[in-house]
Every structure is written in structure tokens, then in C-alpha cells.
Structure 1
Amino acid sequence: MNTSANTIFISGGSAGIGLAIAKLLSAQGNKVIINGRNQQRLDKALQQLTNAVAIQGDLSIENDRIRIATTLKQDHPDLNILINNAGEAFPYSPGQTANDYEYAAREINTNYTAIIHFTQLLLPALKQKPQSALVNVTSILSMIPSSGLPTYAASKAALHFYTQSLRQSLSDTNVRVFELMPPLVNTDFSAPIGGENGIPPQEVAADLLVALASDQFDIPVGQTKAVYALFQEASAKLKN
């Protein structure tokens, strides 16, 4: 699909992977709308972008999702690409804390069910565009479990399978469905789990741009490529 002259909404766009994607797509001649919870961080991010605006809000909260979706449809009717990037993660060992349920509930809400709802709110408008796309950001942990991020991995696995099903369901529409699968990335978000050992967020953004241009719907990045290849090989053997 075209990688310029789009109007693109990026959740979690004030820092990390989201901001790196925003910078690259903005530089490609797209109108970029970034979202985040903190207005000061959004304002700081906007100083690094051209042709960009921000909508503050917490997409894990239903009323905020509805408000943001309404604003997008009213103020940015040309929106044709939705990038669901915002996420939440809690490092812990299951069964070793009193917070397993609380952590799981928040991660499943932010990383999975809230994305389904927000997509549902905007999908009718995306279907009306001659060319549109939906990008869900999952993780290498959508394919392998993690004892240190157990319910984060589970939430990303849920989003992975939902994204695959949504792609099949929308195959006869103008909406292309992409899945971006980064490994550990060096961002503030991943700092508590050793993010300094991860790849730069700019690498994730660059791979996304290439995939959009070539309609490569599954986008494993960095170390995820090896894991993804193993899963593809196993899937092919099962089909045979």
C-alpha cells in the first residue's frame, strides 16, 4: 500500500516504538495523530514531528476510547491507518505475589480487549476508504511464554490470534491487517526488564515501513524472525 499521503493514528505515540513509527511516517509525508496518557509527553513528542497533532487520553478506559474515536471521525475523517501500539506490562513471577489477578486484568484489558473495542469503533470508517490498514503491535512473546511476563505474554498471544482471525474476516474489504512483532526493544517501557539490551525502536519502525509498502502482513522484527520461521515451519508440517 502507499506509505505517504495517509492519515495515521498511533496509540502510545509519545515515546518508544510509537514515537519512532510516528517520526518515520511523518517524514514520509503522512499526517500523524499520536495518542498517549500524558499531555506533557505528547507536547514534547510533537516538537519532534512535522504535520502531526495529538489527542490525549487513556485507551484502556472505555469512555476515553469512545471520546477519541468520536474525535477522530469528526476532526480527521480522512483517517485510513490505525496503529494499535499502546500497551501495559507488569514483570512478576506467577504465584509469587498477591497481584496476579490485578496484573492480568490490566494487561488483558489494555493489550487485548480495549484494542478490540477501539478497532470496532473505527472499523466502519476504515472500510469506507479506498485504501486502509490496521496494524496491531504484538510481541515475540505472542509465540513463546515468559515466566517473568506471564500475563503480558498471554495478552499478546490473544491479540496475535485475534489479528490473524480479523485479517481473514476482512480479506474481502479494503482494510489490510498487519501484525508487527518486535522482540525486546530499548525503550523506557522495557527498562524494567533489561530493555537496554534490546534493539533500537527505529529498527522496528523501519521494518514496519518496508512491510506496509510491500503488503507483508506478518512483520517479525529482529530475533522474532527466527521464532516466526520456526512457527511457520511447524504450521506447514501440520498442514501436510
Structure 2
Amino acid sequence: MHISGNTVFIPGATSGIGLALALALHAKGNEVIVGGRRTDLLARISAEHPGIHTIQIDTTDPSGIRRAAKTVIAEHPALNVLITMAGIMRVEDWTRPEGFLASAEATVTTNLLGPIRLIAAFIEHLQTRPDATIMTVSSGLAFTPLRVTPSYNATKAAIHMLSETLRLQLAGTTVTVSELEPPSVATDLMPGQRDSDFAMPLDEFVTEVIGLIERDPDAREIQVERVKFLRYGEARGDYAETVAAVNSLDPHGR
């Protein structure tokens, strides 16, 4: 993905990493469309950030995804970048079914089925563009699990392997696949995460991400330095120590 000259759709970008990335990409000379469920937040974004386009979309609703995709493609036919940002993260207790089942199902629907359905809605159009990108969003916890968020960890691990496999299937087309792998970032994804001593400041994270894209437009995995501790524990040979460290130090980490 080149850092400028794109038309970018980011569903799940009304706050947190999604909104910060949308604003940074717009500042770099991209046309950006922000998607989200809450129309009040979308209206505020439009008012506060002229030039940012918005559309209502619920990524847990298959028909809503299809409707939004048709609108985005019709209104922005140059669309060539899809960033599947929407996600949730919840604490779960898997020692009893009433402590996790509803949360696990919601997490799978949002974090895994959402991106799959989004890609299905846009893949045909993206292949008509001369230079297109699907950017998935996994997590450092796809590689090193946090004990209290099993469904989140699992869905992000699935997103990683989905990204790897899509890259193989789309080889030879005009569509590339890039995987953004955040560490714990100071957002409201989890209660207390915004104020966590372990969370990377949001502006620092997005600045580093933009720099990484700018330096290497063909990067398969976009990794800020802070996430590499989680990403490469197994490769370093200290996976057990990495898991222990994450679970002893960071109750809210991503």
C-alpha cells in the first residue's frame, strides 16, 4: 500500500486506532471513508474533520455490510484500500459456560466473520483496481495469548492465518494483503486500557505505523517495535517466558 493517492474505506473507525489511522491517512493525501454503527459519532467526525467521508455500517450484520459496500463503491469507484478495523475484546471465564459463551459468539461474529464478510463484499471490486490492498488487523495476542481474553486471542490468530492464506490466493492479482499487528494501545478497547502503563500511546502507535507504510509499501506484516516481543517469542525460543511475562504484567494488554 502506497502512503498516498488511495481511496480508503475503514469500517470500525469512529474511535481509537481506526479513527486515528483514518485521520493520519487523510493527512497524507488519501481519500478516506470512515464506517461505524453510531450515526452521532459519524456526524461528529464529518463536522470536525472536513474531507473525511462517513457511512453507517454494522459489521455484525451481513445485509448491512452488503448495502454499505454497494454505496461505498457507487460513491467512491476509485476505492482501492479496505482496512478491516472493527473489533471487540472481552474478558471471559471459560471455567463455566455462562461465563463465556455469549461473549465468545459475539467476538467471533465481530472479529472474524466481520472481516470475512467485508472482504467478500469488496473483493470483486478491488480486483478491478490497478493497485489495491486489503489490510487486516490482528494483534500481538494472535501470537502470545492473554489468559483472560481467549476468544479475542483466537480470532486474531485466525485473522493472521487468513491473511497469510489470502496472500497466496491473491498472488497474481492486483490485490495485496497487509496485516497490521497492534500491541496494547491506549484506547477504550478494554476497560482501563487507555490509562494502562503498558499501553502504547495512540499517537505514537499511528505515527510509527504511517512511517512503516511509507518506508515499505509492500510490507506483509506491519509491526511497531513494541509488538515484536509478542510476535516473535516462539521464534526466539522463549515463548513460555513471553506468555508468563504478558500474563503477569498486563491485565488489559492487547
Q: Settle same-fold status: TM greater than 0.5.
A: yes
Matching of residue 130 in structure 1 with residue 130 in structure 2: yes
Please give the alpha-carbon distance, in whole angstroms, between the structure 1 residues aligned to 2:144 and 2:75: 40
Please give the alpha-carbon distance, in whole angstroms, between the structure 2 residues aligned to 1:50 and 1:167: 35
TM-score normalised per structure 1 = 0.90
2:232 corresponds to:
229
2:112 corresponds to:
112
Please give the alpha-carbon distance, in whole angstroms, between the structure 2 residues aligned to 1:220 and 1:48: 30
| Structural mapping, 1:187-226, within 5 Å | 187-190=187-190, 192-197=191-196, 198-213=199-214, 214=216, 215-226=218-229
CA RMSD, aligned part only?
1.7
Regions of 4+ moved over 3 Å: 229-234
1:79 corresponds to:
79
Whether the aligned pair in 1 keeps the contact of 2:93 and 2:99 (CA below 8 Å) is no
Please give the alpha-carbon distance, in whole angstroms, between the structure 2 residues aligned to 1:97 and 1:116: 26
Whether the aligned pair in 2 keeps the contact of 1:94 and 1:147 (CA below 8 Å) is no
Q: 1:157 deviation in Å? A: 0.8
Q: 1:79 deviation in Å? A: 0.4
Tell me, what secondary structure is at the counterpart of 1:195? coil
Please give the alpha-carbon distance, in whole angstroms, between the structure 1 residues aligned to 2:205 and 2:82: 17
| Structural mapping, 1:103-182, within 5 Å | 103-182=103-182
1:65 corresponds to:
65
Whether the aligned pair in 1 keeps the contact of 2:139 and 2:182 (CA below 8 Å) is yes
Whether the aligned pair in 2 keeps the contact of 1:211 and 1:217 (CA below 8 Å) is no
Q: 1:122 deviation in Å? A: 0.3
Tell me, what secondary structure is at the counterpart of 2:3? coil
Aligned residues: 233
Deviations 1:96-143 (A, max 9, x none): 461412111111111012211210110111111111111111111111
Whether the aligned pair in 2 keeps the contact of 1:91 and 1:193 (CA below 8 Å) is no
Please give the alpha-carbon distance, in whole angstroms, between the structure 1 residues aligned to 2:192 and 2:225: 17
Please give the alpha-carbon distance, in whole angstroms, between the structure 1 residues aligned to 2:230 and 2:189: 22
Whether the aligned pair in 2 keeps the contact of 1:27 and 1:50 (CA below 8 Å) is no
Identity of aligned residues (%): 31
Tell me, what secondary structure is at the counterpart of 1:185? coil
Whether the aligned pair in 1 keeps the contact of 2:187 and 2:193 (CA below 8 Å) is no
Matching of residue 20 in structure 1 with residue 23 in structure 2: no
Whether the aligned pair in 2 keeps the contact of 1:14 and 1:41 (CA below 8 Å) is yes
Q: 1:232 deviation in Å? A: 4.7
Tell me, what secondary structure is at the counterpart of 1:82? strand
Q: 1:95 deviation in Å? A: 1.6
TM-score normalised per structure 2 = 0.86
Name the aligned partner's letter for residue 223 of structure 1. R
Q: 1:88 deviation in Å? A: 1.4
